[in-house]
Structure 1
Amino acid sequence: MVVKNLKTRLSSLDAAFLYLERKECPMNIGAVCIFEPKLTYKDLVSHIQERLPLIPRYLQRLAPDPFNISHPFWEYDSNFDIKNHIFRVKQRGSFDRKDLRKLAGEIMSELMDRAKPLWELYLVENFENNKSAMIAKVHHCMADGISGVDLMKVIFDVTPNAEKPKITPLAVQDKKTPEEKIIESLFGTIEESLKNLMALQGGVLYLASTFAKPENLRSLPDIVDLIPALAAPPSILPFNRACSGERLIDWTEFSFTEARKIRDHLGGTVNDVVLTVLAKAVSDYTKRFGHVVEGKTVRFMVPVSLRQKEERGSLGNLISFLPVEIPLDISDLKDLFNYVHQKMSKMKQTHLAELLMMFGAAYASIPPALQAAIGAVADLPFPPFNMVATNVPGPQVPFYLAGRKMIDQYPYVPIGYRLGLGCAILSYDKKLYFGLSSDLQAMPDVESFREILDSTLDEFKQVIS
């Protein structure tokens, strides 16, 4: 497999992750991976070096657009050196999980150097019980969760003794002249604007044809019911405070088999299980602060992939967002699950993700320079959501890197703008991995939330036993 359909220029959504980034909100995504047996620095560098031609974006850096009339574009880094991207962590002794979480938080807190390709790997060679750990970090403008999973299929193997992939050397194009860049920029801006206008028009026609059907027309009142969740500010929860940019990380895991048993027993989806557990954990965490939860809700920002089958394997961001608002005063897990399931079903029936994508297309139609200016001053007195909750389906078979089995993979999602807590969920090798990220200033006790999350997961298992 090779990463395909590489676009030269950032889309408006890709660029938004650049424009909104600041010290308080580093826009890094990534994961902490555990390998067994030990992985050496030499083998890691050799393995990645060998596969770089399959992922040419890893050889490219961002270049500003001439006169700032379009979004930045990707160009090959003539000074590329893999040792500027893969680092061996200095250790006095073997790391345990506490050490690893602390290190991962420090790494994810740092803004990436935009003068080089926007990815980094940090190897902890000596991890507990003859294992190694790797912290992977990629800028969000390069990939979303689904394309990140597709990227795994390029870097990793499905057997420990896989044959080396056949690699065709890259044909690196010469750098364009300033005149060529200006012409390309002008035509790129026109192409992007036309594409977004066509997407907006296509979205309107799609929704019109959808709701022309009588069975779908009946769901229009449901859209009206959902509008308040888009327009009104959410309840302010204990972790919705100004962020410092200093990240804390924790994680836990849950049997994917158990999650599917709960899904089948109660009648819903694994995503319903995940959102139910998170909502209950947020409620219990809020109560710890003495806050009343009656009448309050938690509003999750749930990314939804709009990547079509033919777009799998390409990088960049093809996502929309759902504002999923869940009451905090439903204490019974079965009742809470039923509420979440009905809510998510209603959102799917009303095609809310596609509707919100239309607003994204309208925003993307404004000039890139204005988009950059909006991003530079973007701030709100209240957050539009309470926290990010992204659930990415991953491979259900073990992956290998340089012959070492990846036994655990804990995902990471960026936070900021008064969203002091985020949760990324990844299914991998029959487990659900919950990666928690919090801001030191907004939520210094992320481990307390993790303990509540563990307790809620255990409670959910008892529901079906």
Structure 2
Amino acid sequence: MADLGPLDSGFMELEDSDRHVSVGIGAVAIVAGSPPPRAELELELAKRLAVDGRLQQKVHRAPWDLAAPAWVTDPNFDLAHHLRWMALPAPGNEDALCELIAEVMEERLDRDHPLWQCVVVESLADDRWAMIVKVHHSMVDGVSGITLFERLCDDPVDRPDLAGPDDGAASTDWAGLLVKSLRLPVDAPRFVARTLSAVIPLAISAVLPASGSSLNGSIGRQRRYAVARASLPAVREIGAAFGTTVNDVVLAAVTAAFRTVLLKRGEEPTAGKLRILTPVSVRAATAKDILDNRVSAMLPLLPIESADPVEQLAMVHRRMAAHKASGEAAAANSLLAFARWLPFASIAWTVRLASRYPQRGIASLATNVPGPRRRLHLYGREVLEILAYAPIAMRVRTGIAILSYGDQLRFGITGDYDSTPDLHLLAERIEETVEELLQCARTNEMS
């Protein structure tokens, strides 16, 4: 057995607290040709489950939450519980695929079985098919989730070498431990002060309401899904021209898109109106294939008050740099590490109370996950592109999962069905803004 960490179990508590929420995250592979026959695919998928034992484990909860939930082997594991076969109606276009993705992802995973599912989708236009890989957020975060998908593809990547050091290197550094012990009375208060100084502003940002907008509010059970596409080399070119990161360019495009949506809804895009949750991976490179959550977070305000994409990019860059310098992400991660030492019942009740609090400070989620650089294949067929799906909860009506694959950059946009009928506008404006910034970058280089 292996216990779920505080963040892993927190996602289960979040789902339990709201009947409208499903916290499955997803990767959608668009694949060339037709899928293999069902019997062949089932046989091959059964072999590939050996990449991680977690795929045949379910969650066991202790009575009254006296102990943390634990992963235990499902003695009645049956692949049939986890594989569905569907087809799109003619003409099998992207609108139909996005509608199907939303329907599949809004449905909760069955806690009586391991928390994942594969959905094969036939009859996509242009001689293509798709596979939706859906996993509960308590089992993976974005990085470990996309790594799991990659390992389920043909010729899975080799696992990183996790072997321990040799006997000489493994000897205990008693002198170092003694020095650390002697310094503990001095270092501990400094650590606590440093952590609190960074996490208090983060907590205040999450709790205090921002300027009201239609981006925050109650959500229903149904979802919408849309896709925006960009070229990763183009985004890198923009970043190089303006001295920013790829993530800055991505958030600038998201900023412009939300500004357009608010204006179309008749709302003024004023400063302080759009605070977003941006998860930050704290996963070591050697832990990419470990199935759990290793993320922290920042809560930047996006500069929707500006109408100029270049100015938006510069403002995003400055704000993200300030958030990184403040140590927000490290402080939040330190709190999660500290939570492992607390009784699980206290953590569970804290999450339940927090999830019932009608937060009004965060209006959206944007998570940027680096995906596979090499071309992938599923059952001998080329994976043409990969889309990501991020769930929404706690009055956050839109979530954007940005995923790279080779030279592609894809924005998978999730929205509450009733409150985001204009989700396509977000996608269109993201694509337009990247193109506008590219033209500005090239003009800037020539001047």
Q: 2:273 aligns with which of 274, 292, 297?
A: 297
Alignment check: 8 A CA contact 1:242 1:441 kept: no
Matched residues, percent identical?
A: 29
Name the counterpart of 1:266: 242
Given the two structures, how large is their TM-score scaled by the length of structure 2? 0.85
Name the counterpart of 1:74: 71
Q: CA deviation at 1:232?
A: 2.9
Name the counterpart of 2:362: 385
Q: CA deviation at 1:227?
A: 7.8
Amino acid at match of 2:324: K
Say if 2:39 is the partner of 1:62: no
Alignment check: 8 A CA contact 1:43 1:402 kept: no
Q: 1:10 aligns with which of 4, 9, 26?
A: 4
Post-superposition CA distance 1:215-260 (Å, at most 9, x none)? xxxxx99999878645532233222120002111111210001000
Name the counterpart of 2:82: 85
Distance of aligned partners of 1:221 and 1:152 in 2 relative to their CA distance in 1, 3 Å threshold: closer
Of 262-271 and 92-101, the range deviating more from structure 2: 92-101
Name the counterpart of 1:143: 140
Alignment check: 8 A CA contact 2:151 2:157 kept: no
Alignment check: 8 A CA contact 2:33 2:128 kept: yes
1:25-424 map, 5 Å: 25-40=21-36, 41-90=38-87, 93=90, 95-157=92-154, 162=155, 205=187, 208=190, 229-230=205-206, 232-377=208-353, 378-424=355-401
Q: Secondary structure at the match of 2:276?
A: strand
Measured in 2, the distance between the counterparts of 1:280 and 1:364 equals 39
List alignment gaps of at least 5 residues for structure 2.
160-179, 443-447
Measured in 2, the distance between the counterparts of 1:89 and 1:210 equals 53
Aligned length: 414
Q: CA deviation at 1:101?
A: 0.9
Measured in 2, the distance between the counterparts of 1:271 and 1:91 equals 34
Distance of aligned partners of 1:342 and 1:165 in 2 relative to their CA distance in 1, 3 Å threshold: closer
Alignment check: 8 A CA contact 1:399 1:405 kept: yes
Q: CA deviation at 1:77?
A: 1.2
Q: CA deviation at 1:383?
A: 3.0
Q: Secondary structure at the match of 2:299?
A: strand
Alignment check: 8 A CA contact 2:220 2:418 kept: yes
Q: Secondary structure at the match of 1:314?
A: coil
Alignment check: 8 A CA contact 1:423 1:436 kept: yes
Measured in 2, the distance between the counterparts of 1:408 and 1:427 equals 9
Given the two structures, how large is their TM-score scaled by the length of structure 1? 0.82
Name the counterpart of 2:174: none
Distance of aligned partners of 1:206 and 1:324 in 2 relative to their CA distance in 1, 3 Å threshold: farther
Measured in 1, the distance between the counterparts of 2:149 and 2:133 equals 11
Q: Secondary structure at the match of 2:314?
A: helix
Distance of aligned partners of 1:416 and 1:211 in 2 relative to their CA distance in 1, 3 Å threshold: closer
Amino acid at match of 1:294: T
Alignment check: 8 A CA contact 2:199 2:332 kept: no
Measured in 2, the distance between the counterparts of 1:418 and 1:265 equals 37
List alignment gaps of at least 5 residues for structure 1.
1-6, 167-197, 213-219
Measured in 1, the distance between the counterparts of 2:90 and 2:273 equals 45
Alignment check: 8 A CA contact 2:404 2:410 kept: yes
Measured in 2, the distance between the counterparts of 1:210 and 1:333 equals 40
Alignment check: 8 A CA contact 1:418 1:442 kept: no
Measured in 2, the distance between the counterparts of 1:120 and 1:362 equals 32
Post-superposition CA distance 1:45-94 (Å, at most 9, x none)? 22211111222111111111245311211111111111111111155555
Distance of aligned partners of 1:103 and 1:221 in 2 relative to their CA distance in 1, 3 Å threshold: closer
Q: Secondary structure at the match of 1:298?
A: coil
Alignment check: 8 A CA contact 1:411 1:426 kept: yes
Q: CA deviation at 1:312?
A: 2.5
Measured in 2, the distance between the counterparts of 1:105 and 1:97 equals 12
Alignment check: 8 A CA contact 2:25 2:135 kept: yes
Measured in 2, the distance between the counterparts of 1:226 and 1:11 equals 21
